Amino acid sequence: MDTPPADDTGRVRLLRSTSLTPLVPYAYAATTDRPGRLLLTAGACPLDSTGRVVAPGDIAAQTDQVMANLHATLHEAGADLTSVIKTTVYVATQQRDDLTTAWEVVSRSFADHDAPSTLLGVSVLGWPDQLVEVEAVAVLPDADTAPAAD
């Protein structure tokens, strides 16, 4: 097997495959060779500051809120979106177009950091009117070198 090319994006290296199609909108794997700690997030939900689901029925708007909430969680832990090594995106739908809508928002949020991800349709999510949820795995710096949390 050929050694896949890698993108160096700081603590996380995104791995491409030379034997699988290059037409997917994400890296096939991610790794790090630097010391660090793993951060496992709960699924980010489309909740506003009062705990209400935003934009019932609007997948794109809910995904925007989900990504804002994920970003806040990462920031509070001393990470950012480029620290993410894997995501799972859940969309309560049976329509592939709805998956595409959610993925476009997630992808835009991550920009060039196209970490490996799983995108799937599910029958229902936890909150009433909730259509989208995103969980992430990220790499944090060593505790000795980590910046103080806000």
What's 90's domain CATH number? 3.30.1330.40
Overall average pLDDT of the 70-98 stretch: 96
Domain with 104 in it: 6-140
With bands split at pLDDT 50, 70 and 90, how would you rate the model's confidence at 4?
very low
| 149 domain-assigned | no
Phi, psi of 23 (to 5 degrees): -90, 5
Residue 5: pLDDT over 60: no
Q: What is the pLDDT of residues 92-124, one digit of tens each?
A: 999 999 999 999 999 999 999 999 999 999 999
- Is 47:127 a contact under the CB 8 Å cutoff? yes
* Cβ within 8 Å of residue 135, ≥6 positions away: 40, 41, 42, 43, 44, 87, 88
| 146 domain-assigned | no
From CA 10, how far away is CA 102, in angstroms rounded?
A: 26
Residue 30: pLDDT over 90: no
Give percent of the chain above pLDDT 90.
68
From CA 97, how far away is CA 67, in angstroms rounded?
A: 19
What pTM was estimated for this model as a whole? 0.84
Q: Which of 46, 67, 68 is nearest to 57 (CA)?
A: 46
In DSSP terms, which residues pair with 118 in a beta bridge? 88
| 76 domain-assigned | yes
| 1 domain-assigned | no
| 120 domain-assigned | yes
| 67 domain-assigned | yes
Burial class of residue 60, CB neighbours in 10 A (0-12, 13-18, 19+)? middle
Number of domains in the chain: 1
| 98 domain-assigned | yes
| 147 domain-assigned | no
* Number of CB atoms found within 10 A of residue 130's CB: 20
Query: For all residues of the chain together, what is the average pLDDT?
Result: 88
Q: What is the pLDDT of residues 45-58, one digit of tens each?
A: 999 999 999 999 99
Query: Worst-scoring range by mean pLDDT, 27-31, 55-59, 66-70?
Result: 27-31
